[in-house]
Copies of this chain bind each other. A is one copy, B any other.
């Protein structure tokens, strides 16, 4: 970055304060609390720059647009609530030697995505 703008600060604040990956629309909505004129174009541009600078990472789920969260979080995977569509970080990992692949296959990394109900959406009894 070359200049420090209110828009950029607002976007980074929103992501670092969220504690879970946010969609571009969530970032736009939350960012408008700080800069009411904030445009979706600026959100996309700033996210691209923040990713390039290594501050944030895209979180990819099948069939869905990227969400974003702070980089350098602990090893973790993601949980998507099927009811409210929020995605949560699960700070845990699976041991790679528990994963069995065919002979001569090499594992670089893995993505584990859990689907279900978060505590706000699970039916009470």
Task: Enumerate chain A interface residues (CB-CB to B < 8 A).
Answer: 60-64, 66, 79, 82, 88, 90, 92, 94, 98-119, 122
Flag if B111 contacts A107 (CB, 8 Å): no
Question: In the assembled complex, how far is the CB of residue A124 from the closest CB belonging to chain B, in whole angstroms?
Answer: 9
**B98–A122 touching, CB < 8 Å:** no
Copies of the polypeptide in the assembly? 2
Given A82-B108, A105-B122, A106-B116, output 8 extra A-B contacts at Cβ < 8 Å. Answer: A62-B62, A90-B100, A92-B100, A101-B116, A103-B119, A105-B118, A110-B112, A110-B115
CA distance A108 to B115 in the complex (A): 6
Asked if B102 contacts A119 (CB within 8 A), the reply is yes
- Residues in chain B near residue A66, CB distance under 8 A: 63
How far is B71's CA from A117's CA once the two chains are assembled, in angstroms?
A: 25
Contacts A88-B102, A94-B94, A98-B94 given; does A110 touch B107 at CB 8 Å: no
Q: In the complex, what residues of B have CB within 8 A of residue A105's CB?
A: 79, 88, 116-119, 122
